[in-house]
Structure 1
Amino acid sequence: MDVLLVEDDDAIADPLITGLARYGFAATRVRTGAAALCAEPADMVLLDLGLPDMDGIDVCRRLRERSATPIIMITARGEETDRVVGLELGADDYLSKPFGLRELVARMRAVARRSGTAGSRPGAGGEQVLGSVRIDRRTRQVHVGGAPVALSPKEFDLLAVLAEDPGAVYSRRHLLDTVWDPHYFGPTKTLDVHIAALRRKLGDPALIETLRGIGFRIGGGSGTGTR
């Protein structure tokens, strides 16, 4: 997911961009409201209200006038009035500083689910083919060589995440946070168990590759596509 971060404070923006990247978000940062209004479209906007050139509330209003892109306001302001005004102008959520990265990511994912942004990723709206594997996210069905394969809910979600960008490496932490929960602190071995089950059910152990100490990726190639 491409994220536009509107934040003038380097001490906040730099580690936030690094942290979001660990969760699979590609963040582009601008420092002013004017730059935010001129920026390329993104899947979501993280908007600081305390900007140097204009009030973030005005930026929120002008962004909402021309786009339905989800907006999460991030600010040190604690007044209820600011929250109410921002939400009435079309912001999708409000997060007060200081905040934890996991809370922000959880809110981003919740907003994406409500707005349908999560469904804008490649292959999310129809069938995706990976070699002999066909994934239908709409019906949550998987076929291998034309035959249906029964996956558990977690197995399907894990396959769907890996297949979002074939060939891309997904860290263990990202997969646990996405498929299970941002606050999941159970044994990470459960991820390996589900990966092993997927490999067995898909009939091709090489389809999902393990990168030791990093994470997993699913094979791409000429047999990959969406329809």
Structure 2
Amino acid sequence: MAAKDPHILIVEDETALAAVLQDYVTAAGMQATHLDRGTGAAERALAGDVDLVVLDLMLPGVDGLSLCREIRAVSDVPIVMTTARVEEIDRLLGLEMGADDYLCKPYSPRELVARIKAVLRRRPVLDPGARPAPAPSAARLQLDREAWRASYDGMRLDLTRREYQLLDAMAARPGRVFSRDQLLDLAFPDDAEVFDRTIDSHVRNIRRKIAAISPSDPIRSVYGVGYAFDPDAAK
């Protein structure tokens, strides 16, 4: 049986924008359903036939952060949050509530569709009766947590302790965008000598060492937010 087209739930109170998004999503070979308010959106997202939710932050009825929290309490359905509020606190709150990606308005509908496809590639949509494809026997990145060793494409990465901790924290949630503060808490919980801006330096060093082995760059930068380990970029 062929896999069904992905079903995208668009929760957006700007009806003109939502209509354009529906057209782009449909043209990309996906199904689209639109809700213009937050009330009832969580129930619709959890109905079982939705593969990804495009969720606006500011909604009548129930706001996007509350919806994201409600959905995440019971489901890992992918969520791409959108908003016209670009303050850092909104970005961090959206990601901490469990959003898979974040897009600030105004944005190109084409870019949103590209983000949707990227998230779905990381979390493939399967037929209900289909079996998941087996995981590859050897991922490009290999981490030995007992020996504190890392390798990429079978070649050892000569990482410092902090670089290893940072890469391990990102790779544990592939595709998830982390703020610098979140990476500090995850990778260096007891290291008072590491500050948020030193994250950038560590990422540059990790990229340089991977580049010496492979032309691919598996670390994705998200402007104004942070970083993600993106296995798609590593292919």
TM-score (norm 2): 0.50
1:53 partner amino acid: G
Aligned match of 1:3: 8
Tell me the SS of whatever aligns to 1:59: helix
Which is worse superposed, 103-112 or 42-51? 103-112
Aligned match of 1:23: 28
Task: Verify the 8 A CA contact 2:39 2:60 in the aligned structure 1.
Answer: no
1:80 has 2:88 as partner: yes
| Cα deviation, residue 28, structure 1 | 0.7
Identity over aligned pairs, percent: 46
| Cα deviation, residue 139, structure 1 | 9.4
CA 106–33 in structure 1, closer or farther in 2 if over 3 Å, else same? same
Task: Verify the 8 A CA contact 2:52 2:78 in the aligned structure 1.
Answer: yes
Aligned match of 1:222: none
Aligned match of 2:67: 59
CA 98–123 in structure 1, closer or farther in 2 if over 3 Å, else same? farther
Given the alignment, which residue of 111, 117, 121 partners 2:124? 117
Aligned match of 2:107: 99
Tell me the SS of whatever aligns to 1:72: strand
Aligned match of 2:165: none
Pairs within 5 Å for 1:101-180: 101-114=109-122, 116-118=123-125, 120-121=126-127, 125=131
Output one character per residue of 1:13-50: Cα deviation in whole Å (capped at 9) or x when no partner.
11110111000110111122122122133100000011
Output one character per residue of 1:98-123: Cα deviation in whole Å (capped at 9) or x when no partner.
11122112111111122x234x2578
State how many pairs are aligned.
128
Tell me the SS of whatever aligns to 1:66: coil
Aligned match of 2:37: 32
Alpha-carbon separation, structure 1, partners of 2:79 and 2:127: 18
Task: Verify the 8 A CA contact 1:43 1:117 in the aligned structure 2.
Answer: no
TM-score (norm 1): 0.52
Alpha-carbon separation, structure 2, partners of 1:101 and 1:125: 33
CA 139–61 in structure 1, closer or farther in 2 if over 3 Å, else same? closer
CA 22–122 in structure 1, closer or farther in 2 if over 3 Å, else same? farther
Runs of 4 or more, structure 1, over 3 Å off, are 121-126, 137-140
| Cα deviation, residue 93, structure 1 | 0.4
Alpha-carbon separation, structure 2, partners of 1:105 and 1:89: 22
Task: Verify the 8 A CA contact 1:46 1:72 in the aligned structure 2.
Answer: yes
Tell me the SS of whatever aligns to 1:63: helix
Structure 2 unmatched runs, 5+: 1-5, 137-235
Structure 1 unmatched runs, 5+: 127-136, 141-227
Aligned match of 2:189: none
